[in-house]
C-alpha cells in the first residue's frame, strides 16, 4: 500500500474517531456547589450537588426550587394563592362543599392516612383544631411573655372532638377533598414538608440528577451518593445547648431520607416551664422543657423511588485560615467576625429589626433578636465548621468557617 493510500485511510479514521467523540462526548469535571434560600416552608433550605459550572448547577437548582415552592403553596394552611386550591381552601370549605385539588394534595392525604394507621394515630393531620389553639397561645406568649398562659383542657378537649381522620372524604376520580365535619381542619405540618422533600428528590432523579443532598429544615433527602461514591453524612444537632459536642449522632445516607424534629427551639415559657411545639395526641398537651440529651427523633429511611425574595445562589466554600463567623443578610455578606476575638455586634436592618451577635470564648451566639419566634436566640452557640444560626424573619444567617474540612455534609435539628 503506497503512502498516499495510507495517509487517506488514516485521515478517514481520524475523522470517524472525531465524530464518535463528538457524539458520545467527553466527561466534564464536576464541581461541588451549594444553593441556599430561606423563603420556602418557613425554614432554611440547602441543596448540595455537582455541576460542570456554577451556571449549570444553578439552572438545575432553580427547577428543584420551583417544585418546592409549588408544594409549599399546595400544603399551606395559612395563605391563599391566586388560582390554587390548597389545604387552606379545603379547611375553609369544611362542611360546605368538596374542593377540587391538585393530585399532589390527594397523594399527600392518602399517604397521611397510611401514616395514621401505621403509627396508631400518633401522626394525625386532622388535629388542626387542636394545633391551631396551641399555635395561637404560643404566638401570644412569645409576643407578650408576661401574659403567657396555657389553653384550658376544656378548650382542647372540645377541639379534639373534631379530629376524626375518617371524615376526610377523598374522591380520587373527581380529584376532590371534603371535610364532612364543619369544625374540622387539617394541619399537615407533621408530614407535609418531609413528603414534599421526598417528592422533589424523586423529581431530581427524573431530570437526570444523580448526586444530590436536599435539606429543608429537619428534613433531609439524599439522591445517590457523593460524587466519589461515599455516602452523604448528616449531623443530628445536639439539643443540649451547654454541650461542647455539636452533634449527638452522625448518620450516613444514600438514596434515603432522614427526618428529625427537636423540641428545643420552637417553644414558649409559662410560669417558668418551657412548652415546645410538639403535641401529644393522647394528652393534647405540649411536651415540657427539653431534658439533657433529650431529642425527639423520627428517622425515616425511604428508598428514593426510582428567583425569589432570596433567590438561589450556587457557591463553593472559600477556605479561611482563621475561624470566623460569617454573617449574611438577605444572602449578602454583612461581615466576618474572628472567633478568637470577643466582640458584640448589633446587626441592624433598615426596618428596625435586629439581631445581637456575641463572639465569646471561640463561639458565635445570637443572644437577642427582634424576631417574634426567638428560634435564633434559642439556638446553641456555634464553633464548628459549617454550623449555622438562622433567623428567618430577619433573613439573617450566621455560619462558621474555620478552614477545616467538615465530615458532615448537612445538619438536621
Q: Is the pLDDT of residue 151 over 60?
A: yes
Q: Is the pLDDT of residue 26 over 70?
A: no
Q: Is the pLDDT of residue 224 over 70?
A: yes
Q: Is the pLDDT of residue 320 over 60?
A: no
Q: What is the pLDDT of residue 335?
A: 86
H/E stretch holding 138: helix 128-143
Q: Where does 273-401 have alpha helices with state H?
A: 375-378
pLDDT tens for 36-67 read 888 899 888 999 999 999 999 999 999 999 99
In order of 149, 222, 236, 263, the CA distances from 287 in angstroms are: 15, 30, 20, 8
Rounded CA-CA distance 290/238 in Å is 11
Q: Which residues pair with 359 in a beta bridge?
A: 343, 364
Q: What is the pLDDT of residue 228?
A: 93
**Mean pLDDT score, 317-336:** 76
Q: What are the CB-based long-range contacts (under 8 Å, 24+) for 111-119?
A: 111/191, 111/195, 112/165, 112/188, 112/191, 113/165, 113/168, 115/191, 116/165
Q: Is the pLDDT of residue 300 over 50?
A: no
Q: Is the pLDDT of residue 4 over 60?
A: no
Which residue, among 253, 233, 237, has the nearest Cα to 294 in the 3D structure? 237
What values do phi and psi take at 335, rounded to 5? 175, 165
DSSP conformation class of 162:
T
Q: 3-state DSSP call for residue 21?
A: helix
pLDDT tens for 254-284 read 998 888 776 666 778 899 888 887 888 889 9
Q: Is the pLDDT of residue 27 over 70?
A: no
Q: Is the pLDDT of residue 357 over 80?
A: yes
Which residue, among 247, 221, 295, 226, has the nearest Cα to 71 in the 3D structure? 221
For cell 435586629, name the residue: 354
Q: Is the pLDDT of residue 2 over 70?
A: no
Q: What is the pLDDT of residue 44?
A: 87
Q: Is the pLDDT of residue 251 over 70?
A: yes
Lowest mean pLDDT segment, chosen from 109-118, 137-146, 153-162: 137-146
- Is the backbone of residue 157 left (phi > 0), alpha (psi -120 to 50) or beta? alpha
Looking from the CA of 127 toward its CB, the CA atoms found within 13 Å total 25
**Mean pLDDT score, 347-361:** 90
For cell 445570637, name the residue: 366
- Give 12's pLDDT tier (boundaries 50, 70, 90): very low
**Mean pLDDT score, 346-370:** 91
Q: How many helices (H) and strands (E) does the chain have?
A: 8, 21
Looking from the CA of 14 toward its CB, the CA atoms found within 13 Å total 6
pTM for this prediction: 0.76
Mean pLDDT estimate for the chain? 83
CA 371, 377, 381: angle at the middle one, nearest 5?
Answer: 150
For cell 412548652, name the residue: 275
- Going across the sheet that includes 314-315, the strands are 256-259, 219-223, 212-216, 43-51, 31-40, 314-315
pLDDT tens for 161-196 read 999 999 999 999 999 999 999 999 999 998 999 999
In order of 9, 84, 132, 227, 329, the CA distances from 105 in angstroms are: 63, 11, 21, 34, 34
Q: What is the pLDDT of residue 262?
A: 67
Rounded CA-CA distance 31/254 in Å is 19
For the chain, domains (ranges, CATH) are 320-412 (2.60.320.10)
Q: Is the pLDDT of residue 302 over 50?
A: no
pLDDT tens for 369-409 read 998 878 888 888 888 887 888 898 888 999 888 766 666 77
DSSP codes, 44-106: EEEEEEEESSHHHHHHHHHHHHHHHHHHHHHT-SS--BTTB--HHHHHHTTTT--EE--HHHH
Cell of residue 131, nine digits: 394545633
Q: 3-state DSSP call for residue 238?
A: coil
What values do phi and psi take at 71, rounded to 5? -65, -40
DSSP codes, 180-227: SSTT-----TTTHHHHHHHHHHHHHHHTT--SEEEEETTEEEEES--T
Helix axes 103-118, 192-206, angle to 10 degrees: 120
pLDDT tens for 188-221 read 998 999 999 999 999 999 999 999 999 998 789 9
Rounded CA-CA distance 148/399 in Å is 32
Amino acid at each position: 500500500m503506497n503512502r498516499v493510500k495510507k495517509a487517506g485511510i488514516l485521515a478517514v479514521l481520524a475523522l470517524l474517531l472525531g465524530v464518535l467523540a463528538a457524539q458520545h462526548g467527553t466527561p466534564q469535571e464536576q464541581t461541588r456547589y451549594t444553593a441556599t434560600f430561606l423563603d420556602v416552608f418557613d425554614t432554611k433550605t440547602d441543596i448540595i450537588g455537582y455541576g460542570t459550572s456554577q451556571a449549570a448547577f444553578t439552572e438545575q437548582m432553580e427547577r428543584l426550587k420551583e417544585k418546592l415552592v409549588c408544594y409549599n403553596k399546595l400544603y399551606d394552611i395559612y395563605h391563599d394563592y391566586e388560582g390554587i386550591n390548597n389545604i387552606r381552601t379545603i379547611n375553609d370549605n369544611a362542611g360546605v362543599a368538596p374542593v377540587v385539588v391538585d393530585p399532589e394534595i390527594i397523594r399527600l392525604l392518602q399517604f397521611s392516612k397510611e401514616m395514621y394507621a401505621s403509627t396508631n394515630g400518633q401522626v394525625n393531620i386532622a388535629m388542626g383544631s387542636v394545633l391551631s389553639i396551641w399555635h395561637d397561645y404560643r404566638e401570644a406568649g412569645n409576643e407578650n411573655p408576661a401574659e403567657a398562659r396555657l389553653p384550658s383542657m376544656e378548650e382542647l378537649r372540645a377541639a379534639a372532638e373534631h379530629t376524626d381522620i375518617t371524615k376526610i372524604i377523598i374522591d380520587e376520580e373527581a380529584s376532590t377533598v371534603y371535610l364532612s365535619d364543619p369544625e374540622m381542619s387539617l394541619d399537615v405540618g407533621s408530614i407535609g414538608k418531609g413528603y414534599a422533600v421526598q417528592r422533589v428528590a424523586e423529581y431530581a432523579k427524573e431530570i437526570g440528577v444523580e448526586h444530590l443532598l436536599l435539606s429543608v429544615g429537619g428534613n433531609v433527602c439524599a439522591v445517590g451518593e457523593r460524587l466519589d461514591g461515599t455516602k452523604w453524612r448528616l449531623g443530628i444537632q445536639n439539643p443540649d445547648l451547654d454541650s461542647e459536642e455539636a452533634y449527638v449522632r452522625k448518620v450516613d445516607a444514600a438514596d434515603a431520607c432522614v427526618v428529625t424534629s427537636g423540641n428545643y427551639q420552637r417553644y414558649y415559657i409559662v410560669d417558668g416551664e418551657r412548652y415546645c411545639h410538639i403535641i401529644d395526641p393522647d394528652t393534647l398537651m405540649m411536651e415540657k422543657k427539653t431534658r439533657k440529651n433529650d431529642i425527639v427523633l423520627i428517622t425515616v429511611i425511604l428508598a428514593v423511588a426510582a428567583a425569589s425574595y432570596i433567590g438561589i445562589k450556587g457557591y463553593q466554600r472559600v477556605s479561611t485560615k482563621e475561624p470566623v463567623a460569617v454573617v449574611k443578610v438577605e444572602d449578602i455578606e454583612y461581615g466576618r467576625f474572628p472567633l478568637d476575638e470577643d466582640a458584640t455586634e448589633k446587626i441592624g436592618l433598615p426596618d428596625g429589626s435586629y439581631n445581637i451577635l456575641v463572639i465569646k470564648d471561640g463561639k458565635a451566639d445570637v443572644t437577642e433578636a427582634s424576631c417574634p419566634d426567638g428560634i435564633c436566640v434559642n439556638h446553641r452557640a456555634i464553633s464548628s465548621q459549617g454550623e449555622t444560626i438562622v433567623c428567618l424573619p430577619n433573613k439573617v444567617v450566621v455560619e462558621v468557617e474555620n478552614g477545616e474540612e467538615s465530615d458532615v455534609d448537612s445538619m438536621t435539628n
